[in-house]
Amino acid sequence: RAKGPLSGKKVMVTAGGTVERIDPVRYISNDSSGKMGFAIARAARAMGAEVTLIAARTDEAPPQDPEITLVRVESAQSMLDEVVSRWNSCDILIKAAAVADYRPKHSADAKIKKSGDTMTLELVKTTDILESLGKVKDNQFLIGFAAETGNAEYYAKDKLVRKNLDLIVANDVSREGAGFGTDTNIVSIYDADGLVLDLPISSKDEVARRLLTLAAERISGVTR
Ligand code: PMT
């Protein structure tokens, strides 16, 4: 096993956008490519961690590293199930995935036929994975992402507190070179005391390394 600042640590990373089925051929999703989460998984591995990558729909192929355990999921519910089943043996959870907040109330078994001029889809809330784990957090170090299109600092801090996170990575996805699909990101990282790190535009690999270095420093002070 590779030695490094995270050796002996179990890191779980989520990536990509969840798929919420309307019927067998249609779904609701988002623009997450998986790049950010994949970069984190690779960086964690390079730093010596035992890595599990839970990936929803992605544009990119996941890292082809036999040392990274890959679990494919589709919906927010299936991501929740996979994350929860591994939660007890996890040291650091990083939720880079873009998880649907709502899903269709009914998912049809057969393709829905065209009929009236309008159609209404009823949506129901999904379970917030981070929030539910934040409530039962023991020694795990929890990192969330916040994808915002304005007021990133305000919303990120709110999510940090509400979901009981150790760190939150705010990306203002309306900025050029940040957020969905790009090879770069522009992030600010906060903890409960405020701003920890403000990164200029950087590759997602660099963002991943900086984030994991912070996490490694912080958990090394924790008695387990
Ligand atoms: O994949 P890329 O193309 O590289 O893009 C990267 C990214 C923009 C997707 C990523 O950097 C990012 O910001 N991910 C979080 C997107 C998101 O869903 O943000 P949010 O503000 O809606 O959610 C906040 C946090 O709660 C996230 O960590 C999310 O994983 C988590 N969440 C949200 C809803 C839910 N039901 N369960 C959750 O755990």
Tell me the CA–centroid distance for residue 58 and ligand 1, in Å: 13
CB-based pocket (< 6 A), ligand 1:
32-36, 76, 95-99, 101, 126, 128-130, 144-147, 159, 171, 173, 179-181
* Residues in CB range of 221: below 8 A, 6 or more apart: none
* The pair of three-digit structure tokens given for residue 29, joined into one six-digit string: 């999703």
> Is 151 in the active site?
no
pLDDT at position 78 is 98
pLDDT at position 1 is 56
Angle between helical axes of 35-46 and 204-220 (0-180°, round to 10): 50
Ordered mean pLDDT values, 10 residues apiece, the chain (224 residues): 87 98 98 98 98 97 96 98 96 98 97 95 98 94 96 95 97 94 97 96 98 95 48
* The pair of three-digit structure tokens given for residue 66, joined into one six-digit string: 């036999």
Tell me the CA–centroid distance for residue 219 and ligand 1, in Å: 23
For the 10-104+121-219 domain, the top CATH level (class) is alpha beta
111 is in an annotated binding site: yes
Q: What is the pTM of this model?
A: 0.96
3-state secondary structure (DSSP) of residue 160: helix
Tell me the CA–centroid distance for residue 50 and ligand 1, in Å: 22
Are the beta carbons of 150 and 170 closer than 8 angstroms?
A: no
